[in-house]
């Protein structure tokens, strides 16, 4: 009987590979994200007439900037027409005592080279934990973009 031995470097490489595979399998697990008493959701639905690669959002409480981020495909590919990219918001995303009824967001679409295009004016939401909203993004690079929202 022979016993296979590995160097520390080989063990690290094997462990890194296994962890990476576990992470990647979790990213495509199809887990449904739902709002609850500790979160609210915003979905960004792509109904644009052209390829977009990211959705950039900045959010505020009143006029105070709080945060922002991007929603995109992990592989960098274009977001397909009809696809919805979700962002969940939790208490840690806001300063203590923030009045969510003053939530406001600005939305931008991003092209394949990273240029951002605004989707109209900022949008005010009567946000609260447990609620779900969907922003429908429309337009194209020639005539501009817009966003409308609805509560689900």
> Region 91-95: what's the mean pLDDT?
95
Structure tokens at 10: 């080989």
Give φ, ψ of 102 to 5 degrees. -100, 15
Structure tokens at 104: 């406001």
Nearest to 42 by CA among 100, 88, 101, 110: 88
Nearest to 116 by CA among 73, 145, 95, 83: 145
- Which pLDDT band, with edges at 50, 70 and 90, does 27 fall under? very low
Q: Are 132 and 33 in contact (CB under 8 A)?
A: no
- Which pLDDT band, with edges at 50, 70 and 90, does 29 fall under? very low
- Which pLDDT band, with edges at 50, 70 and 90, does 1 fall under? low
Q: Is it the case that residue 24 has pLDDT exceeding 80? A: no
Kind and range of the H or E run holding 72: strand 64-72
Residue with tokens 């296979």: 4
The C-alpha atoms of residue 150 and residue 88 are separated, in whole angstroms, by 16
**Cβ neighbours of residue 110 closer than 8 Å, sequence gap 6 or more:** 52, 53, 54, 55, 56, 70, 72, 116, 117
- Which pLDDT band, with edges at 50, 70 and 90, does 3 fall under? low
For 145, the 3-state DSSP assignment is strand
- For residue 2, what pLDDT is reported? 53
Give φ, ψ of 30 to 5 degrees. 75, 20
> Region 38-60: what's the mean pLDDT?
95
């Amino acid at each position: 009987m022979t016993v296979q031995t590995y160097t520390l470097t080989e063990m690290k490489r094997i462990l890194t590979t296994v962890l990476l595979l576990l992470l990647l399998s979790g990213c495509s697990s199809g887990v449904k994200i739902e709002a609850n008493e500790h979160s609210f959701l915003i979905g960004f639905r792509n109904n644009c007439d052209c390829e977009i690669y990211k959705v950039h959002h900045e959010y505020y409480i009143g006029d105070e900037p709080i945060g922002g981020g991007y929603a995109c495909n992990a592989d960098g590919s274009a977001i397909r027409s009809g696809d919805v990219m979700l962002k969940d918001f939790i208490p840690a995303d806001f300063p203590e005592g923030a009045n969510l009824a003053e939530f406001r967001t600005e939305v931008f679409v991003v092209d394949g080279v990273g240029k951002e295009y605004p989707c109209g004016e900022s949008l005010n939401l009567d946000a609260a934990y447990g609620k779900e909203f969907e922003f429908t993004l429309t337009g194209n690079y020639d005539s501009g973009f817009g966003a409308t929202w609805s509560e689900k």
